[in-house]
Structure 1
Amino acid sequence: MADRVRAGVALSGVAFFGIGGPLRILITMHAVSDWGGLHENIYFAAKSLVSRGHIVDVLCTGTRLPDLLLIAGVNVLRYGLDEDSAATARRIAAVDSYDLVYCHPFVAREVGVRVAGILGIPFVASFHGNYLDAYSTWFDRARITTAVSPALVNMLCRETNVSPELVVTMRNGVDDQIFDCRILTLDEKLNISSGTYDVVVLSRLDPDKRLLWDSVFSGMALLAAQHPGRRWRIRVPGDGNGVSEADRLFTEFSRHHDNVEVEWLGWMSMSDVPRILRRSSLVFASGRGAAQGIAAGTPTIATGSQGTFGLQTGRRLDIGLWGNFGGFPIPISPWTDEGDIELVRLFGDYDSYGIEQVRSRARIAPLLRQSRIDLELGSLLEQAVG
């Protein structure tokens, strides 16, 4: 049976943009892991829509996201998404009426499209990775489609011949507060108590992140060898289905490098992550995590499921923005000997390190501030109904 949990938060000072009143919006999402970039995307989207005065229900899985949504004033639908999507859609449509469905990939998309069909309302679909999700069979029914990177937009248009104006880029945002914090110098980032330069690996600890772990071992082996007088501490927050394998691999790596240690931090809340990113000297991450590292003023190496995009400076940062920091394959890896040289140079030249901190943050800020993404998404969804 369905379990609909209503938020008990009263909001004031809301505004409606371009429409006659609040919309009833259903957001559908499903993820195997309990937390990751998709969960954060959903959280910020739903929260921003509520702040615009809309009534938002989120159909989702997991344990952490529902609690955060309820605090933000978002209603939560707890249907089992492993069951038949048609049956789930009928049950949702029989209980509530909506003005719009904003659906996310795979089974959640199937449910969302079916609910929209039953109720005769528009839907907007979102893509987060390098897959098609049977797009050619339903794209003509979507009011509009969004994707988190220009690379994905190009891929969808190319593979389905959909009109480009029907697919738009809606990037993962980064909390404005992270952009606004003061950037720490490399000297300030030295952990006095441990005598180490901290390095953060920010990702789900699932088997599909093995490519990211390999990039950590490659990059840290280089730094450990080129700067033997420094001590490095690899800090790993988060959890997932690959914790035991990650523990084995990282422990083995540290055994072979006397000046490298590993610290497991476990699950950390969204509010705690920016603090450790800001104080770290280097970040390894993909997608939203990589963007957060850069926004915090910390040099970041981006590696996603589709490849290593390298140290996010200059041309490599442009490629990272194009492909969501590792979320889309590129013909030739930008992580070359040139990238190795630059990584070593950054930690040997404090001026270069500081310049790249400021330059990289300034490059992404106009595109990835969460306030900008919230405004773009809210306007887009309201126009989809109008």
Structure 2
Amino acid sequence: MNILLPVFFHSAMGGLHRHILSSVKAFIRENHHVTVVCKPGPFADEVERLGGKVTRTDYSIEDVQRVIDEIMGNSFDIVYAHPFDSRQLGLAIAESKAIPFVLVIHGMYYDEIEQYHSSVSRVIAVSEQIATYLVEHCPAIESKLTVIPNGVDDAFVPDATSVSSERVTGLFTSRLDADKLFILDVFLDALEDERVRSLPIDWIVVGDGTQRKKYASRYEDAIEGTDQTMEWLGWIDQDDLPEAMRRADFVIAPGRSALEGMAVGKPTIAVGSKSYQGLVTPSTWNDIASTNFGGIGTKYDGYTSGQIGDAILELMDETTRQELGRFSTSLVDEHFRDQGAQLLLLSLLEDVRQEGVEAIDLVHRYPHVRYDELHVRRANRICSWKLTDREQRLDVMREELEATKRLLDELQAIQAEQSAEISHLRLTIQRLSDATE
């Protein structure tokens, strides 16, 4: 197969990137060809290092026109797309070339699927609750929906040796960006928990992003005056991540990272961008996995301060850590290894390729598409006008507020001067009065 794989992202690296790199490896290993459409950077370079082809774009409207012209000159059997801007590009290519379109959904969003579900051959959800969420929003896709959980690379295996220590090492990993604030705040709740602050924990933080500076300060303040330490590793290469996780006695992580921590034999506390799921145990793992380890939920409304502290306290017992570590590894080996996930994906793509799609009558559809395009452009322009007008009015209000503040400052200065003069007059009168007595 010749596979077109468009993907859009904001951060340089993260779980989404590792998900795609695993698929790229599998495609190439099975002698398929893959072209990834993505932003330039380390991810694009890694795809090329693995043997994939890359078309780089910033996903601006102008540059996407260039990319479409370039891609339309090539032959593809299928489009395997990820959401948002990349889905828009992939769907346009798939419809124009009359080839199957497969979309994968990673979290609690539906990417406006109700508008184009008839053009989708299959939808892949990475967990059961994400699949349920999609069907609730768009029942028409139920027959096209498949659940393929994230898989963990075989490099993530336990260390053969285990050293007992009076100190405990906890590893926290997440992308440190605005869409992960719930995860960052839950970890902060752990650090500020007085019960946790009294424990001899050495923290390792893996991750980076726009919120790092702010949260690094908060985290360091939280452990000040305790017997705890914090080591910041930032983003580390995928090849180095297993070894970093093996240094820990337990892991706090979302999504794929939670699975990776479990794979190396560490008890894991799952907290994702949408919910806190807690310690992964024999009695909780199924429900936690169905959320993609925190990818579905109500964020702060579903979390009570101290919950993560309860889990950390439970992990202070070495026997508990060892038992949960062994369980975690066996669970990943049985249900979440990457080889199984990629075999399911390849089988699905092959089935879809053989099924094919019915070509769209583009001549008949053109006036409808053109109307939608013009309507959207007009709506965007009106919205832009309204936003500009709003900003202008806000600027006027800001200027008026500043003028009011300046006037208030002047009045306060005059009042201060008058108060000083009155005090001086009172003092003078008092002196004259004293002199006449």
Q: Fold-level match, TM-score > 0.5?
A: yes
**CA–CA distance in 2 between the matches of 1:24 and 1:38?**
22
Answer with 162-171 or 121-130: which moved more. Answer: 162-171
- Whether the aligned pair in 1 keeps the contact of 2:189 and 2:308 (CA below 8 Å) is no
Q: In structure 1, what is the equivalent of residue 124 of structure 2? A: 146
Query: Residue 13 of structure 1 corresponds to which residue in structure 2?
Result: none
Match among 44, 49, 58 for residue 66 of structure 1: 44
Equivalents in 2 of 1:57, 1:227: separation in Å? 49
Alpha-carbon contact 2:195-2:309 (below 8 Å) kept: no
**Offset at 1:113?**
0.3
Label 1:249 to 1:165 Cα distance change in 2 as closer, same or farther (>3 A): same
Q: Kindly indicate whether residue 254 of structure 2 is the aligned counterpart of residue 294 of structure 1.
A: no
Partner of 2:433: none
Corresponding residue number in structure 1 for 2:179: 208
How far apart in 1 are the matches of 2:298 and 2:234? 32
Which residue of the partner structure matches residue 78 of structure 1?
Answer: 56
Residue among 311, 317, 320 paired with 2:285: 317
Q: Aligned residues: percent identity?
A: 27
2:201 paired with 1:232? yes
- Kindly provide the amino acid, as one letter, of the partner of residue 212 in structure 1: I
1:1-386 to structure 2, matched below 5 A, reads 23-83=1-61, 87-88=65-66, 90-179=68-157, 181-182=158-159, 185=162, 188=163, 190=165, 196-222=167-193, 225=195, 228=198, 231-255=200-224, 257-329=225-297, 333=302, 340-341=309-310, 343-348=312-317, 350-386=318-354
Q: Which amino acid aligns with 2:5?
A: I
Question: Displacement, 1:346?
Answer: 2.8
- Quote the RMSD (CA, aligned, Å): 2.4
Asked if the contact 1:149–1:321 (Cα under 8 Å) also holds between the matched residues in 2, the reply is: yes
Q: Go from structure 1 to structure 2 and tell me whether the alpha carbon gap of 1:285 and 1:299 turns closer, same or farther (over 3 Å shift).
A: same
In structure 2, the gaps of 5 or more residues are 355-437
Instruction: Report the Cα distance in structure 1 between the residues aligned to 2:66 and 2:111, rounded to whole angstroms.
Output: 19
* AA at the equivalent of 1:211: F
Shift of residue 236, structure 1, vs aligned partner: 1.4
Structure 1 position 343, deviation (Å): 3.6
Structure 1 unaligned spans of 5+: 1-22
Counterpart of 2:71, as a letter, is: A
- TM-score by length of structure 2 reads 0.75
Could you say what secondary structure the match of 1:178 adopts? coil
Name whichever structure is richer in helix by fraction.
Answer: 2
Corresponding residue SS for 2:270: strand
**TM-score normalised by L of structure 1:** 0.85
Q: What is the distance in 2 between the residues matched to 1:183 and 1:253?
A: 34
Separation in 1, partners of 2:23, 2:218? 36
Higher relative contact order (CA 8 A, sep 6+): 1
Contact 1:126 1:146 in 2 (8 A): yes
The C-alpha deviation readout for 1:100-126, integer Å capped at 9, x for no partner, is 110001000000000111111111011
- The alignment partner of 1:162 has SS state of helix
**Counterpart Cα distance in 2 of 1:78 and 1:338:** 43
Instruction: Report the more deviating stretch, 126-135 or 351-360.
Output: 351-360
Give the residue type in structure 2 aligned to 1:347: M
**Bigger CA radius of gyration:** 2
| Distance in structure 1 (CA, Å) of the matches to 2:9 and 2:170 | 28
Cα distance in structure 2, aligned partners of 1:220 and 1:239:
19
- Residues 281, 189 of structure 1: alpha-carbon distance in 2 compared, 3 angstrom cutoff: farther
Contact 2:249 2:321 in 1 (8 A): no
The verdict on how the C-alpha distance between 1:189 and 1:123 changes in structure 2, with shifts beyond 3 A counting, is farther
